[in-house]
Amino acid sequence: MEEIDFLRLLEEERKAEEIVRRAEKEARRMIDSAKEMARRIIEEALKINEEDIAKEEERRARAEIAKLRDELLREVELLRKMIEENKQKILEHLEKMVLGLGD
């Protein structure tokens, strides 16, 4: 029958425990590193998304401003035409107001 060397078994057990401890430590380090990398990726994605949203909102605002400017120019042109068409009536009305004869 073969003799069991308990001291050697204890030594091998300690070595195995040390290997497991180092492996757990390395695994925790890798997990922490992966979490940090994921955090950075998420932050960058959010930043890019915010930039895209800001650009899109700016584009929409510029389009709305251009639309309003065009509408205003049409209204001003319409008003000019109305004034030109009614210039004589407007002058007569102002003349009456100045002389105190009218409205």
**pLDDT score for 90:** 84
Q: Where are the alpha helices (DSSP H) in the chain?
A: 6-85, 87-99
Delimit the domains of the chain by residue range: 6-99
Residue 100's region, left for phi above 0, alpha for psi from -120 to 50, else beta, is left
Place of tokens 């380090």: 29
Looking at residue 3, what is its pLDDT?
77
- pLDDT at position 74 is 95
Using alpha carbons only, give the angle 43, 46, 49 rounded to the nearest 5 degrees: 150
Give the span between the Cα atoms of 19 and 68, in whole angstroms: 72
Q: Give me the tens of pLDDT residue by residue for the chain, a chain 103 residues long.
A: 577 778 888 899 999 999 999 999 999 999 999 999 999 999 988 888 888 888 999 999 999 999 999 999 999 999 999 988 988 888 888 888 888 876 5
Separation between Cα atoms, residue 63 and residue 68, nearest integer Å:
9
pTM of the model: 0.48
d(C-alpha 7, C-alpha 4), whole Å: 9
Handedness of CA 24, 26, 27, 29 (dihedral sign): positive
